[in-house]
């Protein structure tokens, strides 16, 4: 709660400083105009500048080489309560813990103050593995020495509103309010279909964060984006959290083209329950990736 309060306070502080500075500039620049007339004039200038700035529509794509961690925990009902089974899909089922995949995003400014912000990434992993010990997956017990195929697929799409907090020729700061649609699918099966278990859920979770861009040199920029959200509904046993981070250095040989070197991180933690007849199995999925990335950006 303290971290959220500090971040919210930072938003308000930056917003107030920006508006106070704007008010002072308006007063000094043209005392003969009324405040309403001056604001209209500034808005028109900003619209004209945005149309010719190569910053109205921004498309980014990156190839990420990431370290992945996918952990699951199941509650096993028994007469006196619940036992807990822990499972790492990388260590226990042999899924790749390093993978290269694509991420993309775009920004479209409808006005100098308002825009749309979207993100996407998809990771699909599958592996054939012989179990080295006994495992629990949902209501199935997987014996030692079983030849299984395990998989974990993730598709994430995010879309929402982007508010400009501060903008000038060398810097941009904005706040976004998005909805994340996460399709997480994981399971394990055998060739003879003796075991065929799948867990899938589509999560629409809100997310909010900050986007910043600063000019270091005429040909070099620093990009930063961070997002977070957490939800806990005890009555239906659901809780979830999302944290994302992207930092990048962007080399711009042309005003419409950028080459980026970045570090990306995404973390999801979801707890829910799986209904089986008159009972249920509580479970949690922890999913994380982080790593360096190379990409391109296009500004129009």
pLDDT at 189 over 70: yes
The token pair that represents 7 in the structure block: 């971040």
Helix 35-51 vs helix 2-29: crossing angle, to nearest 10: 110
Query: Which two three-digit tokens encode residue 71?
Result: 């952990």
Model confidence band, residue 28 (pLDDT cutoffs 50, 70, 90): very low
Q: What is the mean pLDDT of residues 82-94?
A: 85
pLDDT band at residue 100 using 50, 70 and 90 as cut-offs: very high
pLDDT of residue 36: 63
Per domain, the residue ranges of the chain are 53-299
Per-residue pLDDT, 273: 83
The two tokens of residue 143 are: 């014996």
Q: Distance between CA atoms of 105 and 64, rounded to whole angstroms? A: 13
Q: Is the pLDDT confidence value at 5 over 70?
A: no
Report how far residue 124's alpha carbon sits from residue 90's, in angstroms, rounded to the nearest whole number.
Answer: 13
Class of domain 53-299: mainly beta
pLDDT of 6 strictly over 50: no
pTM over 0.75: yes
Asked whether the predicted pLDDT for residue 4 surpasses 80, the reply is no
The residues, ordered by sequence, that sit 6+ positions from 151 with a Cβ below 8 Å of its Cβ are 95, 124, 125, 126, 127, 185, 186, 187, 188
């Amino acid at each position: 709660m303290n971290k959220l309060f500090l971040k919210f306070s930072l938003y308000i502080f930056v917003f107030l400083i920006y508006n106070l500075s704007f008010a002072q500039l308006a007063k000094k620049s043209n005392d003969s105009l009324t405040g309403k007339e001056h604001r209209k004039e500034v808005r028109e200038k900003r619209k004209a500048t945005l149309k010719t700035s190569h910053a109205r529509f921004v498309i980014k794509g990156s190839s990420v080489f990431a370290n992945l961690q996918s952990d699951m925990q199941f509650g096993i009902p028994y007469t006196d309560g619940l036992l807990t089974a822990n499972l790492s899909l990388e260590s226990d089922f042999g899924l790749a813990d390093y993978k290269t995949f694509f991420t993309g995003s775009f920004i479209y400014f409808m006005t100098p103050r308002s825009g749309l912000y979207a993100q996407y990434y998809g990771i699909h992993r599958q592996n054939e593995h012989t179990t080295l010990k006994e495992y629990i997956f949902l209501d199935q017990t997987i014996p030692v020495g079983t030849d299984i195929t395990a998989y974990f697929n993730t598709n994430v799409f995010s879309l929402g509103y982007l508010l400009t907090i501060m903008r000038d020729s060398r810097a941009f700061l904005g706040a976004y309010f998005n909805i994340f649609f996460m399709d997480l699918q994981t399971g394990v099966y055998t060739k003879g279909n003796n075991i065929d278990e799948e867990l899938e859920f589509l999560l629409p979770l809100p997310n909010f964060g900050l986007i910043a861009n600063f000019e270091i040199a005429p040909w070099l920029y620093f990009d930063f984006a961070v997002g977070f959200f957490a939800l806990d509904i005890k009555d239906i046993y659901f809780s979830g959290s999302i944290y994302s981070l992207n930092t990048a250095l962007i080399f711009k040989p042309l005003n419409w083209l950028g080459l980026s070197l970045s570090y990306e991180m995404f973390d999801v933690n979801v707890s829910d329950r799986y209904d089986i007849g008159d009972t249920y199995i509580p479970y949690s999925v922890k999913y994380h990736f982080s790593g360096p990335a190379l990409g391109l950006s296009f500004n129009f």
